[in-house]
Structure formats: C-alpha cells, structure tokens
Structure 1
Amino acid sequence: MDTILNVTGLTGGYTPRRSVLHDIDFELRAGEMVGLIGLNGAGKSTTIKHILGLMHPHQGEVKVAGVTLEEAPQQYRSSFAYVPETPLLFDELTVEEHLRLSAMAYQVPEERFQLEAARLLEQYQMTPKRKAFASHLSKGMKQKVMIMSALLASPRLYIIDEPFLGLDPLGIRSLLEQLVAVKKGGAAILMSSHILSTVETYCDRFIVIHQGRIAAQGDLDAIRKAAGLSQGGGTLEDAFYRLVAGGEQ
C-alpha cells in the first residue's frame, strides 16, 4: 500500500533548547485509520503541529504524499485536511460560504461542490443552517462545519484532533460512517481522541505517545504485548493504562 504520511526521527518542540518530542517514527498507509493516543501533555498536539507545518523539527522530517513541506509547499498542504479540537471559523461567513471557501482552496470542481455540499449539509442536519453566519452557530454546529469542509476537500490524508467534542450522537455517527467510507476509498486518517473505546472499534492501528516518546505502536495485539498483556487479554484502555501509568488491572 502507498505510504501517505511518513514521520521519521522527529525531534522537536516550542524552543530550540527544549525538545518536547523525541525520535518519533511512524507512518500511515492508504486505506487505514490510525489512532494517536496519550495523556494530556504527552505530545499529541505537538506531533500534529509538526505534521501541519506549524512547527519545524529540530531533527528528522515529515513527508506527506512523498514530499516535505520545504520541497513542495503547495503539494504538501493540499494533500491533507485538518479538523482541530476547537473549531476555527470566520464569523462573517455563512455555513455555505465556508464550504465554498474550502472547495476553492482544494480546487473542487463546481458540479462536484454542489452535489457534495448538499449531501453533507443533509447528512449533518445542517441544511436549515446553510445561510447562517458562523457567529450564530453553537460549538457543535461549528465543529460540523469544520468536518464538512474537510470531507468536501477529499484529500489523501485526514488529521482529526478530538473530533467528537461538542457533536451530538447523530453527528458522531455521521462522522464515523464517513471516515469508514473515505478509508475504504483509499484515504489515510490520523485521529487523536481520548475516547478509547471508539478508537479501538474504528482504528486499524494505534500509536501510544507518552512523555514525548512512542511507548508502543501497532495493532491491538501489538499494544497488548507492549503492555505485558496476553493476546486477546484486555481492551485498548487496559493496555493504555499499563503503558502510561504502570497500572495493573
């Protein structure tokens, strides 16, 4: 399978003198969903910021679709879509205008935009709000706009940070169903979430990050083995607890 995201020897942080991340190595392949999990402050957001190009590595490199940000900035940025934990919208743009802005940024053809925008608005129960300004939306509705904008772009890589915060049950179900669909279509998905039961159900592999280092990665059996559990002996949450807290169930 094609490698969509490749993180190699990533060491980095907010200041040159102090690294938050230490020698991070992982990859995402086409057609898989990978869960990035860890405690608050473990380095998940810092890792994501390096992938987004918002931070520059002290050492190592990040490649998306085979290129680094320095080699091909436009190709790099157009290969992924990002859904942040806190929705970021323009107060004076409507829901529909945000979708159109995303379509323009990712060069989505007009005919496809019309069809996909209508479908997404219906799927996320946002059709009645299509003309509403972002400033008049609830946090959950704003999150839906971020999600719809990412899905409309149809990139090769989705980076999703705590996507379920603020979503109603129908919104969560719609998002998970859509992620399964885009994964089957060949996209790669990196999802960071504290809801480990959902991560376990939907993700193919897992990356456990602790104190800026990868404590374990692989499928559920590999995570169990790293945590000292027998094959089939415990949930992702059980293994995670052992890895980050040294606990025993």
Structure 2
Amino acid sequence: MVFTTVLHETYVIICVIGLKGTNLNMTLKINNLTGGYSRIPVLKDISFEVGDGQLVGLIGLNGAGKSTTINHVIGLLVPQKGKITIDGNTLMDDPQNYKSKIAYIPELPVLYPELTLREHLELTMMAYGLETTSAWQRARVLLQTFRLENKLDWFPAKFSKGMRQKVMIVCAFVTQAKLYVIDEPFLGLDPLATRDLLNLIAAEKKRGAGILMSTHVLDTAQEYCDHFVLLHEGRVRAQGTLEQLRDLYGDLNASLTELYLGMTQDVNGNE
C-alpha cells in the first residue's frame, strides 16, 4: 500500500504540549508494551499516553528504544506483549482506520526520485483519501509557509536536505491527521523553517491533534513541551511535566538535559 510506504519513510523523543489542568481524551495509548526486533525485547513493559491536543515527547539517548517505540506505533513492528490503540482502535482490529489516523515524518527524508513535489502531494492526497479541492487549499498555504510554492514541478534531485525535509513536513500536515509522529524534525532545517514548524505544531495541537515528537534538541523540547517521557534502556525511567520531573529529581531549577542525564546516571550507578 502507498500509505504503508509513506509510514516506512519516517521515524521519533516524545514531547507533550498540552492544556494543563484539563481532562483530555487520549489519541494514543500504549499499555505495558514489550517488543523489539527479535525474541529478546528492546522495550520492557512501557506505558504512556498522548492526549488530544498534546505534543508528547519521549527523551532518550541513542539505543534507549525511541525508534523501536515509534516503529511499534506506526505498525512496522508487532508487540510481543501489551497493547497500542489510537482512538480505541488497534492495528490488528482495524488496520485501515488505525493507519489513516497517522501522519509520519522521518528523521531522514525519503522521496521518490521520479516524482515531482506536485506528484508527491497528489500521491499523499490519494493515499489518505483526501478531498482534492480542500486538500490543495491546505497544501498551498503550507507550500507558501515553507517557501516551496514555486517548486511544485521540481524533482527531489534539485532539493537540498532541508528542502526535502520541508517536503515531508508539507505532505504530512496536509493530511490533518489525528496523530503526528515526528522524528528529529529540526535536523537540516534553517531557523526560519524551525520557527514555522513549531508554529504549525502549535496550530495542529489547537485543532486537537496528538503529536509524538522525537528530538535531541532538548532546549527546544523544554520550551515547547509540557509533558515528557524519559526512556532509558527500553524502560520508562520517569514521565510527567517539567515541574513533576524536577520534584522527582529533587532539583526545582534543573534543565531537561540535567534531569535526563541525572536520572539515567542514577539508574546505572553513577556511570
């Protein structure tokens, strides 16, 4: 399926920007997930949620299990134990409904070399069953935002890495998905594009979409996220707001970087 191909082309830290103090419906629920690429699990009984209108962030060092978590969410891996639901549906129960709610942006943009930007957008619209007129209205706004409106007939070979990343962003956000899964989105983006992406994320959050985002840019995560999941060696080490994590760690002024490094070092005996 084209949709499955689109999902193969994107990966995820998990940040949550949300409405503090409100009871949100949950877009994504991960309950007691154990899984990985072989019989020896990478993930060990992890649980967390992404609510409607939240940007949730999973923080982890290389090898902590972030990509494995994301590959389970987007359906590239099957859980050994546990359950993943989007709006109450599992991939096994209703594959088409489950996948139609996800838009996935990978760390490394992968485009079809034989297709123009226009054709990538047309393919995305067809794969998600979008109404063409309204989808193109959204697409043209996004193209203008990311300064690609005069590049519709360009092939990927002409795009820089940053421009290819913008193409992936435009294709994902034109879908108005229920859940965005975004992996390391700031790599290759210039400061203006980074600002535009953060504004776009805020707008989609306001619309009610859930967003799962991986990034090593922890200063940005700290500024824009209000809930974090700290993943270490395949386990959830801690999760909560920045204030809750500071209280748990016992330092009311600690940065997100200090919190994560401090907690993982404590687990490993002050490694």
- Quote the offset at 1:226 in angstroms: 2.8
Q: What corresponds to 1:234 in structure 2?
A: 254
Q: Which residue of 2 aligns with 1:4?
A: 27
Structure 2 CA distance, aligned partners of 1:101 and 1:204? 35
Contact 2:135 2:175 (C-alpha < 8 Å) held by counterparts: no
Cα distance per residue 1:181-212 (max 9 Å; x no partner): 00011001111100011111111210100000
Q: Distance in 1 between matches of 2:108 and 2:63?
A: 17
Alpha-carbon distance in structure 1 between the residues aligned to 2:160 and 2:203: 27
Q: Deviations over 1:158-193 (max 9, x none)?
A: 100000111111111110000000001100111110
Judge which range, 35-44 or 99-108, deviates more.
Answer: 99-108
Q: TM-score, normalised by structure 2?
A: 0.88
Q: Distance in 1 between matches of 2:83 and 2:240?
A: 21
C-alpha displacement of 1:116: 1.1
Q: TM-score, normalised by structure 1?
A: 0.95
What are the within-5 Å matches in structure 2 for residues 58-97 of structure 1?
A: 58-97=80-119
- Residue correspondences, number: 245
Q: Summarize the alignment of residues 122-201 of structure 1 with structure 2, pairs less than 5 Å apart.
A: 122-201=144-223
Tell me, in whole angstroms, the C-alpha distance in 2 between the residues paired with 1:200 and 1:146: 24
User: CA–CA distance in 1 between the matches of 2:110 and 2:256?
Assistant: 31
Once the 2 structures are TM-superposed, how far is the Cα of residue 135 of structure 1 from its aligned partner?
2.4
Structure of greater relative contact order (alpha carbons < 8 Å, 6+ residues apart): 2
Q: Which residue of 2 aligns with 1:20?
A: 42
Deviations 1:206-232 (A, max 9, x none): 0100000001101001211232323xx
CA drift of 1:42 comes to 0.4
Q: Distance in 2 between matches of 1:49 and 1:226?
A: 29
- Alignment check: 8 A CA contact 1:9 1:23 kept: yes
Which 5+ residue runs of structure 2 have no aligned equivalent?
1-23
CA distance in structure 2 between the partners assigned to 1:89 and 1:46 by the alignment: 22
Unaligned segments of structure 1, at least 5 residues: none
Q: CA RMSD in A?
A: 1.3
Identical-residue share of aligned pairs (%): 47
Q: Is the 8 A contact 1:13 1:46 kept in 2?
A: yes
Matching of residue 210 in structure 1 with residue 229 in structure 2: no
Deviation at 1:243, TM superposition (A): 1.2
